Amino acid sequence: ADEGVRADTTAASLGALKPMLKGGQVTAGNSSQQNDAAAAMLIV
């Protein structure tokens, strides 16, 4: 199971991730994992 930080993660690889929304700041690298106090999940 993926419990958090991965050994191959670098600041450069996190900086290269695109925001989820145009003009946004949230990326897959800085958003909370589902197991981090997530209250709900919506599947569309």
3-state SS string over 8-32? CCCHHHHHCCCCCCCCCCCCCCCCC
Whether pLDDT at 33 is above 70: no
pLDDT mean over 20-26: 90
Of 27, 5, 33, nearest to 14 (Cα)?
Answer: 27
Report the distance separating Cα 36 and Cα 31, nearest Å. Answer: 10
For the record, the structure tokens of 2 come out as 């993926």
The letter for the amino acid at 1 is: A
| pLDDT > 70 fraction of the chain, expressed in percent and rounded | 73
Determine the distance from the C-alpha atom of residue 34 to the mean position of all C-alpha atoms in its chain, rounded to a whole number.
Answer: 10
12 against 9, higher pLDDT: 12
pLDDT value, residue 18: 92
For the record, the structure tokens of 32 come out as 């909370």
pTM: 0.53
Domain residue spans in the chain? 1-44
